[in-house]
């Protein structure tokens, strides 16, 4: 059985840790430090830390990996027996130094939610939707010192459906990613280790900011629809004091200018179930934006 270490922080990383725990011997979990949360600013543990404690796995929370840390020493260095075979990284949120990359014998395998080299960066799911992609996937690749530039071990594709937003697509990719990680572990145990250079034209998926959610009504309806899909649930899309929670492009020809038509659509579609907008922090149940190009 492979000896592994796991690096991750948010809730989406937990299913990967749990599956890795089932299929390998996880020697340690590395996650971000506890952070203040809520009105009282009490320290809150990352979801991965909570899950690791339930599984009985030692947890380390270094501020960074730029300097030596006890977790590295505890795992052994060089050719020591304590050294793990493999490291797995899922949404850890911190850069690994050249020194840290040498800890596992085989290296670190990172789970990325795009078909690399497309959408390198922090928000691949969101940008795939914003750009109107009809296909994405999961890539397991070997970490190097670049930003999502390492060689690929496994890659699986997933069709993007018109009804998908960033949350629903992320959930599907997590399921696909966990299965892909399990397949990768099975292959490694048979000595089947693959390192293929990334091929194709790279693109970037930078971190989204709140202001990215502002809707410009001069854009085509499909572009606005994709913006809403890609930015749901965060950072969200908005127009003035209205927060757009759901949208669809109208099949009808425009009868107003774009901005007027979109707002008119809110009134026209009143009563449709499951669709809504939000104004000044209050929800309007049963209403929907109707974007007309």
Q: Which three-class secondary structure state does DSSP give residue 289?
A: strand
For the entire predicted model, the pTM comes to 0.86
- pLDDT per residue over 182-236, tens digit each? 999 999 999 999 999 999 999 999 999 999 999 888 888 899 899 999 999 999 9
Spell out the domain ranges in the chain.
3-189, 210-291
The CA distances from residue 10 to 34, 51, 116, 120, 270, in Å, are: 12, 11, 22, 19, 37
The pLDDT value recorded for residue 226 is 94
- For residues 178 and 152, what is the distance between their CA atoms, to the nearest angstrom? 16
Report domain 3-189's class.
alpha beta
Positive or negative: CA dihedral 135, 140, 141, 146? positive
Overall average pLDDT of the 257-272 stretch: 43
3-class SS shares of the chain: helix, strand, coil, % to 5 = 30, 25, 45
- For residues 100 and 140, what is the distance between their CA atoms, to the nearest angstrom? 19
Give the confidence band of 71 by pLDDT, cuts at 50, 70, 90. low
Give the confidence band of 267 by pLDDT, cuts at 50, 70, 90. very low
- pLDDT per residue over 235-250, tens digit each? 999 888 888 888 877 6
Average confidence score pLDDT of the chain: 85
Helical H runs in the chain?
14-23, 47-55, 70-75, 124-130, 166-189, 221-230, 258-268
Q: The domain at 210-291 falls in which architecture?
A: Roll (3.10)
Burial 193-208 (b: 16+ CB within 10 A, else e): eeeeebeeeebebeeb
Strand 86-90 to strand 237-239: parallel, antiparallel, or no bridges (unpaired)?
unpaired
Lowest mean pLDDT among 67-76, 124-133, 194-203, 213-222: 67-76
pLDDT over 90 (residue 178): yes
């Amino acid at each position: 059985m492979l000896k592994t270490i796991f690096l991750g922080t948010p809730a989406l990383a937990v299913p990967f840790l749990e599956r890795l725990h089932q299929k390998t011997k996880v020697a340690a979990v590395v996650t971000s430090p506890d952070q203040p949360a809520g009105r009282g600013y009490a320290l809150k543990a990352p979801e991965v830390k909570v899950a690791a404690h339930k599984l009985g796995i030692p947890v380390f929370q270094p501020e960074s990996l730029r300097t030596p840390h006890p977790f590295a020493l505890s795992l052994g260095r060089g050719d020591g027996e304590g050294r793990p075979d493999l490291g797995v990284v899922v949404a850890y949120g911190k850069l690994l130094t050249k020194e840290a990359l040498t800890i596992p014998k085989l290296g670190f395998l990172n789970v990325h939610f795009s078909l690399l080299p497309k959408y390198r960066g922090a928000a691949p799911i969101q940008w795939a939707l914003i750009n109107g992609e009809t296909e994405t996937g999961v890539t397991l690749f070997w970490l190097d010192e670049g930003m999502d530039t390492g060689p690929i071990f496994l890659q699986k594709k997933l069709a993007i459906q018109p009804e998908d937003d960033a949350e629903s697509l992320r959930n599907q990719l997590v399921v696909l990613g966990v299965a892909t990680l399990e397949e990768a572990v099975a292959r490694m145990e048979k000595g089947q280790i693959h390192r293929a250079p990334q091929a194709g034209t790279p693109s970037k998926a930078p971190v989204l900011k709140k202001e990215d959610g502002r809707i410009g009504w001069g854009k085509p309806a499909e572009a606005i629809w994709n913006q809403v899909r890609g930015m749901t649930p965060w950072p969200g899309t908005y127009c003035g004091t209205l927060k757009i929670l759901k949208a669809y492009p109208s099949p009808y020809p425009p009868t107003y200018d774009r901005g007027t038509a979109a707002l008119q659509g809110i009134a026209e579609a009143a009563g449709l179930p499951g669709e809504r907008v939000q104004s000044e922090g209050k929800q309007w149940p049963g209403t929907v934006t109707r974007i007309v190009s």
